[in-house]
Structure 1
Amino acid sequence: MGTKFRNFRNRKFVKNPFIWCLILALIFNLLIETMARNQQPLYGGFYYMVTKPLVFIANTLILYSMLVVSALFRRGTFVVSLVGTFWMIIGIANGVILTQRMTPFTVKDLSAATDGATILTNYFSKLQLIGMGALIVGLLVTFVVLFIKGPKRKEKIPYKKTLAGVLAVILITFGSIFGLIRIGMLNTFFGNLQYAYRDYGVPYCFINTWMNTGIHRPANYSEAAVKRIFSKDQYTGKNETMVLKKNDSAVKEKKPNILFLQLESFVDPERFTNIKLSADPIPYYRSLMKNYSSGSLTVPACGAGTANTEFEVMTGLSVKFFGPGEYPFKSVLKDETAESVARDLKSIGYGTHAVHDHRAMFYNRNEVFNNLGYDTFTSVEYMSGVQKTPKGWAKDKILTPQILETLKSTKDRPDYIYTISVQGHGKYPSEPLLSNPQIRVTGAKDEETKNEYEYYVNQVHEMDQFVKQLTTELKKLDEPTVLVMYGDHIPALDIKEDTYRAKDLYQTQYVIWSNFPMKAVHKDMAAYQLSADVLGRVGIHVGTTTIYHQTKNHHGKNYLPNLKMLGYDMLYGKDYIYGGKNPFHKAGMKMGVKKIKVLSVEEVAGQYYIKGQNFTECSKISLDGKVLKTTYLTPSLLKLRGKVDPEDVKRMKVSQTDKTNETILTTTE
């Protein structure tokens, strides 16, 4: 038996790296696709291989073309292990992420890795995190040992012949992919990222999210084409000085406050057909939908991706124009200034503000909002007394006083406030965490499903109460106020089209409430159309995309192509719509609307205390940019823990720090 095995092992085809890499590519692809289909844990990959054989082969070739490069190295086993482990990590990460949210793993998630790391404890137990850390360390050690001690090819490598073979595999791979694209079996545009991964394969889609970014230059892009998007009577000026006309004549006497409230994972739970509930979780929101303007809102995110819904509502552009899985907040808007509803309203006298009961640095909001023209941004680091859900997210009722304080911060002008909530965020626990839930799930397929939905619907119920509290306070204002509310995406639960009455997993609901009479209009729209619709109802017609949506036929064949051209011109092109130059600058945004002050530093029994105003749990005593150990006592008192040179005391300041890593956001003057 031993002799037969040695003879088999020594045969040329067995030792041929091209054959082994092909076998490994097939195995890896099966495993990756099986993990991507956790609803079919045992046969998902095989089912995919049988039902979509050409697409499966194309994805296997992608892996093969990367693995076969190892044939050029003496340490081929090390290279194969490195490439194979990389793809298995992608497959495992994708499978795990799909159990937590409804959108698959993309290259753009790697750019958000620092944000993701800050909320890992919301998704995994400490033991699981320790296990993941140990696995990473183990892999690193294994690779070091494999590189040093691993097998090396003894025979001489015929480099010319091997290189020709590797290039042939790469050419066949590219040829296969382009051929499948030509016949429509593969696509480069992913209208639904989840479906794209399912239909076109994980390797192909993952690489696409890396190579396909930004808004591609339209084939007919030119100054004349951009200027033709609007009619001549919509411009003022001539030639290079031509700009779009502003029209806010209908609201010159008394402009209303315009408030947007983006509710985290908020949808009507009665749309879920796979559960039964003991009571209506959102009675107040339901009454608003009946009595005020409302309808379905098509959002760009599903189960996750809050920032992309923000982007569409704030800019009037669709994220479908960008690369698959891309977050403009993480790419172009991180560094570039751009037009937004905030900038447009500021141009007619509005104060512009953002409020969010989560980290300022999440999705780079502390930088992006400055680039989009906001005057202030109040994040959770500037809020005190924040209550938390059992999963550690801020409860949204803290937003009511924050919104009211923001309205009071500007006395002689109307306000535009964009508020992002966080309470409804997953992960939704499969074990019971609520001791006495107000809303009970009375029917579900199993206990884990019951617990997940029960937790979710009770958070939504509290959010409904928050909305009632907020509108009650806004009714008391002697200023006309419009409040636009909507869910950013459906929750990351086991929801499918056949268990969701909307039949579209990219649909939530919106309501337009006001403390003055407005005609109720019930219609459906997309998130990128929402702001223009609201502004139009109060007589405001300013801003490039706002005017575009308000004046163009939403069903016309050029509606989306021209909007895409505008987006390209405004963010990547030559700014023809602005006369050839980006007119926008950073807004000089301030963090928080309440000024944080240090009034005095006092020494008591050898301990230093700082007295001041508007401190929060994220206020830290700092010295020359270094954060010192601090105990928060009250909104007016902080205690220094530890020693400091008495000569340095007079230089101590108070800094607001990121809630997770103590990065300094702002420091008192």
Structure 2
Amino acid sequence: MSEQLLDEPAQASVDDGAARERTPWQALVWAQKVSWLAAMACAFVLEASTLLGQPSYFWRSTFFDGLSFAADSLVIWLIIVVLIGLTNRVLLSVGLVAAFSLVIAVANRVKLGTRLEPIYPSDVDFLTQPKFLTTMVAPRMLVVAGIGLAALVWAAWFLGRKYEPKLLSIWPEHLDLRRQFGAVLVRALVVTAALALLADATRFNDPGNPWRAAYEVGDGRKWRYWNQQSNYSANGFVGGFLYNMPTVAMETPEGYDQATMDALTARYERLAAKVNRTRTGSLDDTNVVVVLSESFSDPTRLQGFQLQQDPIPQTRATMQAGTSGTMLAQLYGGGTANMEFEALTGQSIGLFSPQMSSPYQMLVPEYDQYPSAVGWFASHGHEPVAVHPYITSFYKRDQVYDVLGFDKFVHDTTLAEQDRIEDNEFISDQAAFDEVRKQIDDSDSPLMVNLVTMQNHIPVDGNYTDPIGVDGVDGDQADRIGNYARGLAHTDEALASFLQGLEQSDEKTVVVFYGDHLPGIYDSSITDQNPGEDMYTTPFLLWSSEGNTKKVLPQSSPIMFLPMLYEMANAPIPPYYAMLDRLRTRVSALEQGRMLDPQGNEITEDDLDKQGQRLLADARLVQYDFSIGERYSVDRMWPGSLR
């Protein structure tokens, strides 16, 4: 802004003249200093929300290596500049951004504490789900936080009115018309330039993006997509947040075109035909129940504490007598919808771009139809039913289930039973299993049921009057573990009763039962003693009312569950499942940043032999084709999967 436009004397404060009088030019310099210092302070608060508890080298990396802290501060400063340009109030604008930064920092700490995962851009969807938010944070804390934030904004407004130097007004009437227009034009250009730079930041993952280039300045800088807490710690909170902005779900695999997909499809059609020649069973007249048991795990596997009784003896006995194994979870403390997505679609989160943090929120709702087991089973005479004893909008399931092809969605307000156990605010697993049994009994057709339970969702503090005793820890940690273990015991009883009822029924039923992740209840004293896959390992089992054969499967991902179920039932498979079956001979588990071979060894793609690399490349081609590609192969690789 030129000195010619700013050479008029400052007007007196609208208050009582207490504010220091400065020329508009001096006021502008003051505003620049205050806004930049405020931006740095907000950036520091956001960085600290991730860095607290992290090793010292992360603090050093964020603040001294490269430009990440400066870039974070610059992004926040541009937001303040836009607000100043729109409101003409420096301290009010700073107060608004500071309040917003504090909200994000607190939310980040809460999420890290429960899921070891920072805030993502896609988490904005949860703002429309107050019921879920109040389960994560006590309502009293939300009220206190709201009052505190309102007080912070009011204080900024009050101090600004009383002490802030007067900036040149948005439409300075004391100037002649030409200079009025010039002043407005300069202000508009500043706001427009700041908005343009911020808009460019939202395209962070585009090739050649200058913001990303700024964050990548420095020796050895690397985006840690396999561990987002480390990613945010090393590259700054704002940098990590921008890195996770929505982008293309997958890069186009090399050689992708219709000819390539036709040749690939023909190859797996031949493989499926070869496999099916020896398979004499069928699931066409059998109920198929897929159960994702919220936070179901085996805490007796963990080091650092001992339970005074086994919380899942009946589930353990069922696993030992039949087909079972362990699952590699994507995340600790979260990722439920992603594990459900993998089980239903056979598509791996590990093959998507790292920024695809939630296909249910970021990918599936963009389509009218999406290939899944829902359509596949429906094309074989099954009626697809989804059961989730919680709000329908959670992870956009009300939209996602429709796109996947479910005929019916039974949820928290439509379940026949809505019982809770003691002080647990979530509907019990027994009520959820009873609903599945009711749906089976009421239907003349075989069902494909997808059940996602909620009973063991956090918070677990104080849920039960008889928590299982815990040795080796005390205080709140012991209370949380004991209450969680008691919840598992209730699930253990409900599952055993459910399977017993199915076994006594005249209808044939098969069940896939798996835990999606460990609960985010363990502090660092326990997580530090359980490295590697320990905090990412949950049980799963495959069960049939027609009888079960003992078989221990290697650690797996949910994409393998239904192909393994067909193998257990000795039933014919589509070419898509033939491909996944062949892939698991080389890669038994695949999640973002982790890949295991059938012996449980962590491997990379370079460790695979040529056949393994080709199988993984084929899986990548098919996943691209099914998800965002042209879907050249869907009708042949997985006939009926689009519904």
RMSD: 4.3
Query: Could you say what secondary structure the match of 2:359 adopts?
Result: coil
Q: Which residue of 2 aligns with 1:403?
A: 436
Query: Could you say what secondary structure the match of 1:353 adopts?
Result: strand
Query: Could you say what secondary structure the match of 2:265 adopts?
Result: coil
Separation of aligned partners in 2, 1:373 and 1:542: 20
Contact 1:33 1:44 in 2 (8 A): no
Q: Could you tell me the percent identity over the aligned residues?
A: 22
Does residue 1:568 correspond to 2:598, yes or no?
A: no
Query: Could you say what secondary structure the match of 2:319 adopts?
Result: helix
Query: Could you say what secondary structure the match of 1:336 adopts?
Result: coil
Q: Which residue of 1 aligns with 2:563?
A: 532
Does residue 1:194 correspond to 2:250, yes or no?
A: no
Q: Which residue of 2 aligns with 1:31?
A: 45
Separation of aligned partners in 2, 1:484 and 1:399: 15
**What amino acid sits opposite 2:240 in the alignment?**
C
TM-aligned CA distance change 1:518 to 1:454, over 3 Å: same
Q: Structure 1: which 5+ residue stretches go unaligned?
A: 1-5, 237-242, 588-669
* Offset of residue 342 of structure 1: 1.7
Does residue 1:462 correspond to 2:490, yes or no?
A: yes
TM-aligned CA distance change 1:385 to 1:526, over 3 Å: closer
Q: Which residue of 2 aligns with 1:647?
A: none
Tell me which moved more, 454-463 or 60-69: 60-69
Contact 1:37 1:95 in 2 (8 A): no
Output aligned runs, 1:143-154, within 5 Å: 151-154=165-168
Separation of aligned partners in 2, 1:544 and 1:52: 50
Contact 2:79 2:194 in 1 (8 A): no
Separation of aligned partners in 1, 2:21 and 2:338: 59
Deviations 1:571-599 (A, max 9, x none): 32222224799997996xxxxxxxxxxxx
Separation of aligned partners in 2, 1:112 and 1:219: 36
TM-aligned CA distance change 1:522 to 1:24, over 3 Å: same
Separation of aligned partners in 2, 1:40 and 1:578: 45
TM-aligned CA distance change 1:433 to 1:550, over 3 Å: closer
* Offset of residue 373 of structure 1: 2.0
TM-aligned CA distance change 1:464 to 1:187, over 3 Å: same
TM-aligned CA distance change 1:179 to 1:201, over 3 Å: closer
Contact 2:329 2:557 in 1 (8 A): yes
Output aligned runs, 1:408-423, within 5 Å: 408-411=441-444, 413-423=445-455
Does residue 1:122 correspond to 2:135, yes or no?
A: yes
Q: Which residue of 2 aligns with 1:550?
A: 581
Does residue 1:362 correspond to 2:394, yes or no?
A: yes
Output aligned runs, 1:148-547, within 5 Å: 151-154=165-168, 175=210, 177-178=212-213, 181=216, 185-187=220-222, 190-212=225-247, 214-218=249-253, 220-232=255-267, 234=269, 250-252=280-282, 255-320=285-350, 321-322=352-353, 324=355, 326-334=357-365, 335-389=367-421, 390-411=423-444, 413-429=445-461, 432=462, 434-437=464-467, 439-444=468-473, 446-495=474-523, 497-500=527-530, 503-515=533-545, 516-543=547-574, 545-547=576-578
Query: Could you say what secondary structure the match of 1:428 adopts?
Result: coil
Q: Structure 2: which 5+ residue stretches go unaligned?
A: 1-19, 170-181, 588-607
Structure having the larger proportion of residues in strand:
1
TM-aligned CA distance change 1:121 to 1:455, over 3 Å: same
* Offset of residue 151 of structure 1: 4.5
Contact 2:282 2:569 in 1 (8 A): no
Contact 1:313 1:531 in 2 (8 A): yes
Contact 1:298 1:508 in 2 (8 A): yes
Separation of aligned partners in 2, 1:581 and 1:250: 21
Separation of aligned partners in 1, 2:550 and 2:317: 16
Deviations 1:329-381 (A, max 9, x none): 22332253111112112222223222222233322323322221223332232
**What amino acid sits opposite 1:24 in the alignment?**
A
Query: Could you say what secondary structure the match of 1:286 adopts?
Result: helix
**What amino acid sits opposite 1:31 in the alignment?**
V
* Offset of residue 143 of structure 1: 7.4
**What amino acid sits opposite 2:559 in the alignment?**
Y
TM-aligned CA distance change 1:66 to 1:351, over 3 Å: same
TM-score by length of 2: 0.76
Tell me which moved more, 262-271 or 92-101: 92-101
Separation of aligned partners in 2, 1:330 and 1:403: 26
Does residue 1:103 correspond to 2:134, yes or no?
A: no
TM-score by length of 1: 0.73
* Offset of residue 284 of structure 1: 1.5
TM-aligned CA distance change 1:184 to 1:407, over 3 Å: farther
Separation of aligned partners in 2, 1:579 and 1:465: 42
Query: Could you say what secondary structure the match of 1:330 adopts?
Result: helix
Separation of aligned partners in 2, 1:565 and 1:468: 40
Deviations 1:167-193 (A, max 9, x none): 999999965732654878555672233
When the two structures are aligned, how many residues end up with a matched partner?
A: 570
Tell me which moved more, 211-220 or 513-522: 211-220
* Offset of residue 392 of structure 1: 0.5
Tell me which moved more, 90-99 or 145-154: 145-154
TM-aligned CA distance change 1:369 to 1:245, over 3 Å: farther
